[in-house]
Chain A
Amino acid sequence: MASKSIDNQIDPSPRVPGLRAEFVFRKILLLSGLVIVVLLAAIFLSLFLHSLPSLRAFGLSFFFTKTWDPVSGKFGMLSFLVGTLLTSFLSLLICLPFSLAISIFLGEYFREGPLSSFLRNVTELLAGIPSIIYGFWGLFVLVPIVRKLEIILGIPPYGVGIFTASLILAVMIVPYAASIGGEVISLVPSDIKEAAYSLGATRQEVITKVILPYARSGIMAGILLALGRALGETMAVTMVIGNSNLLPRSIFSPGNTMASVIANEFTEATGRLYLSSLIEIGLLLFLVTMVINIVGRYIIKKVSVEA
């Protein structure tokens, strides 16, 4: 509706060339926007169509079968599903205290000043590091450390596994959770905080009893977006998770994730059912991340309107 009314205000008259350029420019923008929407729909459609053979062959049992055997053509994604869920939620658990601390620090204690902007930039820089670099760092630095830990704990010291992958993922998603959390915390109205202070609350009490409950849903949204990122992360996870297609027995076992199995096997997958099963995993990943993103953005929108 809004764009229509602006269209009416600016009459694309040939006598005013600047306005005509404006008109063309707007149409180009609209077209680019539409292309994105069409692209998304096309991706979904092609994923769906290509996963039809596997959907028909395995139906719902695809989600509950743990055998992934390209040789005999039996496919089930249970171990990848478990691997994805384990790594994602474990990484959220690890990242939560850190991202929360950073959000509180940036949103409440040091909103301005050189230290704050330094910390903010560093956190955002974490998000800009290519995931392959995280993978290499994980493989050469983190894996030996985890191996030492595993020797101490008396479990097979592989070094790679679900736990190592979760650690890497936690570092990767901290910026997402922290930056949104920080913004939401800084949006908490100062009159509420001042009211709490005037009642004699300490700063810690204000944070735990006033700010965090008020910003709760926004912080949740940040975590959801971080979760969306964790679910789909591929390269770094592949390098440290151990890529074993067996169901993980503990968080230190090697495992595999949905994104990682696609990345590993797609290029050399032969046979219609094999390809189609990989695409079905992709379809599921696409849907899950989309839903998580939509829910996350919806909460953020609601929070910003409230504030």
Chain B
Amino acid sequence: MNSLRRGKLPPHAAKGLTIFVVFILLFFPSLPWAKGVELLGAGATFPYPLYSKMFHEYWQLTGVKVNYQAIGSGGGIRQLMNMTVDFGGSDAFMSDGELAKAPAKILHIPTCLGAVILTYNVPGNPELTFTPDLIADIFLGKITKWSDIRIAEVNPEVTFSNMPIAVVHRSDGSGTTFIFTDYVSKANSEWQRRVGRGKAVNWPVGLGAKGNPGVAGLIRQLPGAFGYVELVYALQNRMPVASIRNKKGTLVQPGIASTSLAANIPLPDDTRISLTNTDASEGYPISSFTWILVYQEQSYRKRSMEKAQELVKLLGWMTHEGQQYTESLHYAPLPAEAVRKAEKIIKSITYNGEQIHR
């Protein structure tokens, strides 16, 4: 040890040091002094394709880089709670209990709508119709054959073979599962009692597959399969989709328009509302907002005023101009009422208690 302190570094050590420095530079390309404002977000995977498109367009427009990591809604909320990101993304709104645990007031800003559709693999893949009770009973394992009289009753023009129904659900915890089980819980009391709603639930029957691609792949392979995937995924892959009788008794085919229409109800000022089993007469019943979550007071953790302003500008852009990118990517745009509510929420964001103007 003494020798180290006294003498000059041996040539090997010097070389090693150089390699070390080069490595450091390689692995940390974005050193803090290299950039202007860059916003960091994390959360839901569902809106990720849309957000990537929006953030890319926004970067070309303004030069502000937004880095969004699709780690899941739960992770997004956790990161926001730890104040390690500028915004979080979530498919499920935070409950009052969760909000109470947050270090400061968190705001929900809706950015678009998504829906969960039911898809199937039966010979010829005809267009099928389901009622909420039918869906619940199939997922509860009470209806096990496609030839069941109750399926035939709502699909009189289709003849079914005696094929067993293979229920397919998500194996990974996911917002898609939450929206689906939330809907079935609202529409069917037995499901509510026996299974309930959650990102992962105790499925009474069925096979689990990972992610939308996993579920879709299994359904496509498995004759007699019945399961749920995101609308975006189903539209992209041209999968058969089932129409559902909604709360008002209307038979609704899932699609971008019917998903937006699900929000055609009086919205609360904080937009924290579940749209499943919607009261809207033309709305598709398994729809949901997806939100960006931010702190109302932006001066936390010594963030700069500039960063807060850029965040507010970004949110404004996403809920207005950014909406033009939704439909081409199969997302449902916000209805006018939701945009107005979002605008109001964005205006309430402050820095050191003062409003940040757009």
Contact = CB atoms under 8 A, between A and B. Distances in A.
Interface of A: 12-14, 17-18, 20-21, 23-25, 67-72, 139, 143-144, 147, 156-160, 238-239, 242-245, 254, 256, 260, 263-270
B88 interface: no
B73 A268 contact: yes
B171 A238 contact: yes
Contacts of A70: 173, 198-202
A270 to B, nearest CB: 5
A229 B10 CA distance: 44
Interface residues of B, number: 40
Interface string B62-92: 0000000001111100000000000000000
Contacts of A156: 164, 166
Contact of B208 (A24, A69, A244, A267): A244
B196 A71 contact: yes
A237 to B, nearest CB: 11
A231 B113 CA distance: 41
Q: Closest 8 A-B residue pairs measured CB to CB? A: A243-B208, A268-B173, A243-B171, A69-B202, A71-B196, A21-B12, A21-B10, A71-B198
A256 B74 contact: no
B10 A267 contact: no
Contacts of B116: none
B173 A265 contact: yes
Interface of B: 3-4, 6-7, 10-13, 71-75, 164, 166, 171-175, 195-203, 206-210, 214, 217-218, 221-223
A244 B202 contact: no
A298 to B, nearest CB: 37
Contacts of B223: 157
B210 A243 contact: yes
Contact of A264 (B6, B172, B195): B172
B206 A72 contact: no
A247 B117 CA distance: 29
Nearest to A268: B173
B171 A159 contact: no
Contact of B221 (A159, A243, A244): A159
Contacts of A143: 221
Contacts of A24: 4, 10, 12-13
A239 B206 CA distance: 15
A268 B174 contact: yes
23 contacts: A13-B3, A14-B6, A14-B7, A17-B10, A21-B12, A23-B3, A24-B13, A71-B201, A139-B221, A143-B221, A156-B164, A157-B223, A158-B222, A160-B218, A243-B209, A244-B206, A264-B173, A264-B200, A265-B172, A267-B173, A268-B172, A268-B173, A270-B74
Contacts of A147: 222
Contacts, number: 112
B227 to A, nearest CB: 12
Contacts of B75: 267-268
A290 B164 CA distance: 43
A266 B174 CA distance: 11
Contact of A245 (B6, B202, B221): B202
Contact of A139 (B4, B172, B175, B217): B217
A24 B16 CA distance: 11
Given A70-B173, A239-B209, A265-B200, 12 more contacts: A14-B7, A21-B11, A21-B13, A67-B202, A71-B198, A243-B171, A256-B171, A263-B172, A264-B173, A268-B72, A268-B73, A268-B174
A254 B173 contact: no
A254 B207 contact: yes
A276 B197 CA distance: 20
Contacts of A243: 171, 207-210
B207 A238 contact: no
Contact of A269 (B173, B197, B210, B222): B173
B10 A268 contact: no
A144 B202 contact: no
Nearest to A275: B74
B309 to A, nearest CB: 32
B111 to A, nearest CB: 20
A113 to B, nearest CB: 42
B14 to A, nearest CB: 10
A14 B3 contact: yes
Contact of A159 (B7, B71, B222): B222
A71 B173 CA distance: 12
Contacts of A144: 221
Contacts of A67: 202
A268 B222 contact: no
Given A21-B13, A244-B203, A265-B172, A72 B208 contact: no
Contacts of A139: 217, 221
A12 B3 contact: yes
Given A256-B208, A264-B210, A270 B3 contact: no
The winner among B72, B175, B208, B210 for most chain A CB atoms within 10 A is B208
Contacts of B172: 263-265, 267-268
Contacts of A260: 171
A244 B206 CA distance: 7
Contacts of A23: 3
Nearest to B204: A246
A239 B223 CA distance: 18
Contact of B7 (A20, A242, A267): A20
A247 B199 CA distance: 21
B171 A264 contact: yes
A21 B13 CA distance: 7
